[in-house]
Chain A
Amino acid sequence: MSEFNLSQVLETNRSFVDEVIAESGQDIRQCYQCAKCSGGCPGTFAMDYLPNQIMRMLMLGMKEEVLKSQTIWVCMACNTCTTRCIRDIDVARVMDTLRQEAVKHGYTENGRLVLIFNDVFLGTVRSYGRLFEAGLLMMNNLKTGSLFKDAQFGLPMMLKGKAKPFPHRIKGRREIKKIFDETKRREGK
């Protein structure tokens, strides 16, 4: 963690904290720093900051450090933190909001793989109405540049009749496209 002037950072980034609170609907000011969220989090071994540290950093206005962290991309949305928080804060929802904030403010480096995956996943849903698994695997590998990743899974999946070579197209595809386009438009993206 680099050195910085706390009161100055706090002043310039106050609006960011408010934004996170408004977007997530979670009053992170209620956090006691009891660290129960971190104690039960299964992802801490791969995180740079613990979930309770992220909460504290938010309060201190450390926008960049939070949005650049590995933590928000390691979080698996398992909801253990939310289940256990003694202050009734939906920590997992805050993590969700932070991922979206990171995209909005252009801090996507650490989240590259997750963002590609989500994009390709939702791309198949937008086109067909349902997830097309084989297409997801292929497109994901193409876009991430790891062509043979999970190749050990592909063939056995086919042999067991667990992977379908063609997508299933639902009837309400136009409706699904509308949902995608409208939500995107309303969020002003």
Chain B
Amino acid sequence: MAKYALYPGCSLETGGIEYGMSSHAVAETLGIEFYEVPDWNCCGASSAHMTDHLLSLALPARVFALAETLPVNEMVAPCAACHQRFAAVEHELQDEDLRRKVNSLLERPYTGKVKLKSYLDVFANSATLDKIQKKVERSLKGLKVACYYGCLFVKPPKVVNFVDDPENPQAMDNIMRALGAEPLPWPYKTECCGASLGMTKEDACTKLCNDILRIAKDAGADCIVAACPLCQQNLDMRQISVEKKYGTQYRMPIPFFTQLIGLAFGLDPKVLGFKKLFVDPVMVLRKVGVA
């Protein structure tokens, strides 16, 4: 049985609550065990690395150190922004001096024993992909999806150790294929959605969201599949402002990939948090005959 330490991150319990719900339901079906890191703290996200380099390393390092108390070898962070911060720690603390400096700030030292694993890879590795295929009870046949990876899960590849092509990743596309859905080729898979500017330069953020939604719509997508709670929230909630500003009507549902896996497994859409999505996912549900 696959076992991982899970770092939910602040948004998995708030804005991305349906990501957490569906992740747990799907993991259970697949026999994947997640151990939540005890007493985890916020990784500091971009606010920390924009403010102080040492701070941006010490906060996630404390989490890693706590994960080392669990019976696991690997840790996952479903949020792309968190994932990137942990990847930075893993990458930079190979430097002995820096590691000593960071550890002098912590109660429990970071040793590097627990390795970071991409959350997408948990589901997209070949063994799990096989399992997923076997568990499909309600094929997503006919559903055209635009897989959206966002920027920080895949970039920069040297740091995040992403097993995929950073410019044209396939991990999520493969999962969708296993579910019977049709992943579309589209050029904005890893284009930034500007979530970090949402509160400071809203206009710029709205434009970036509009571009992504428009390109997905033009590609013929029924929905955009997300893997990051920040991207998802940004593309989902901001559609109100995008549609107002650009006079468009995308009404594009933005489900998480874990929600679609659960749907194909025949799980109850309620358990998967479909009601939590802002843009009504009814067209997605209808395609598989549950709405």
- A residues contacting B by CB (< 8 A) are 42-43, 45-46, 73-74, 76-80, 82-83, 90, 92, 96, 99-100, 113-114, 117-118, 121-122, 125, 129-131, 133, 140, 149-150, 152-153, 156-157, 160-164, 168, 170-172, 175-176, 178-180, 182-184, 186-187, 189
Contacts and interface: CB of A to CB of B under 8 A. Distances in A.
9 contacts: A43-B192, A80-B155, A100-B52, A113-B199, A113-B200, A118-B50, A133-B15, A175-B106, A189-B52
Given A122-B48, A172-B62, A179-B59, A161 B194 contact: no
A117 B107 contact: no
Per DSSP, are chain A's interface residues mostly helix, strand or loop, or mixed? helix
Given A73-B201, A170-B40, A183-B105, 13 more contacts: A42-B194, A43-B194, A73-B200, A74-B197, A77-B46, A99-B50, A113-B199, A125-B59, A152-B240, A152-B241, A163-B15, A172-B107, A176-B59
A150 B237 CA distance: 11
Residue from the set B39, B53, B58, B157 with the largest chain A CB neighbour count within 10 Å: B53
B276 A161 contact: yes
A76 B207 CA distance: 14
Given A46-B204, A83-B157, A130 B41 contact: yes
Contacts of B55: 122, 179-180, 183-184
B201 A74 contact: yes
B151 interface: yes
Contact of B17 (A129, A156, A161): A161
B42 interface: yes
B14 A179 contact: no
A48 to B, nearest CB: 13
Contacts of B207: 45
A24 to B, nearest CB: 9
Given A79-B151, A130-B41, A180-B55, A42 B208 contact: yes
B49 interface: yes
A152 to B, nearest CB: 7
Given A117-B200, A152-B240, A179-B55, A133 B10 contact: yes
A128 B199 CA distance: 22
B278 interface: yes
A172 B37 CA distance: 13
B44 interface: yes
Contacts of A129: 39, 41-42
Contact of B42 (A130, A164, A178, A184): A130
A180 B42 CA distance: 13
Contacts of A189: 52
A28 B238 CA distance: 37
Contacts of A156: 237, 278
Interface in B3-24: 10, 13-15, 17
Interface string B52-69: 111100110010000000
A42 B10 contact: no
